[in-house]
Structure 1
Amino acid sequence: MSEAKNTVEKASGLAKDLFLANLGLAGKAYEQGVDFVKFTESKYKETESKLKDTYSKRNEIFDGLVERGQKVQDDAKAEFESRTSEIKGKFEETKSQAKAKLESLKSESLEERVKELRETLESSVEKVKAKVSRKADDATEGTESAAA
């Protein structure tokens, strides 16, 4: 019987150790849970504090964003106007060059046309002179032959 008693005592000791291990595990889990809750509460309070600070500074932040937006808009307008002025200047320069070239072409074309008309007129005048001269020669010959 002593062997059975010994086995019961060992089993009883093992059961007690298992109970204590479970109790220790529960205690450890409880402590970690409490630590986690404290950590979570501190992070919550920290976040809440940051949120309150940000919330209280919202007008300041908003005004800062409005100022930044205004600066970006002003810079964009200035750049646009600068580019627009530059483009207008180039356009006007190109336009005046085109007008000058057109006038040059017009006057060249006009001069060439006048030259062509003069040549045509001179040619026509020469033809008329030749005809008149022939008719005068023919009339002179006719009067000379009639007189002879």
Structure 2
Amino acid sequence: MPKVLNRRARIWVGGIALIALGAVGCSESGKGDAAASAKPLPAVTVTVTATATETATPAPAPTVTETKTVKVPGPTVTTTVTKAAASSRSGGGSSGGGTKTTSTCSIRSNAGNCYSAGQFCRNSDHGAVTTTASGARIKCVASGSSWRWSYS
């Protein structure tokens, strides 16, 4: 009785047979008609055109309006400063009346004093004009990164 091959052996034999048939078929396919193989194949040309157009219209920007309030110098304020008599310094018995000084500064500091050139200006005084205690005209102007009173 012939010996029956097990399953693994049968798969090997079948695989080798398929490889042998494929090798024979490939060698025969190259021996065909030379005219048939020289025939040009139809060429396929694909042209793709993509056009993308985007028009961006910016939204209107908000209008910025800066309002600056400049304090206009008001009426001239006249102050009377009375200085004490010099009798306390000299030790003499004369009792002098006292000296009166009149100043006409229209803008005063928070302490109530007249400004002088070189001092810092308040924000509300930017661009304003006034006088010093001696009557010299000064204006609040930008000086570097700050605002100062300057002779005008």
Q: TM-score, normalised by structure 1?
A: 0.25
Structure with the greater alpha carbon radius of gyration: 1
Please, what TM-score do these two structures have when normalized by structure 2?
Answer: 0.24
- The structure showing larger relative contact order (alpha-carbon pairs under 8 Å, at least 6 residues apart) is 2
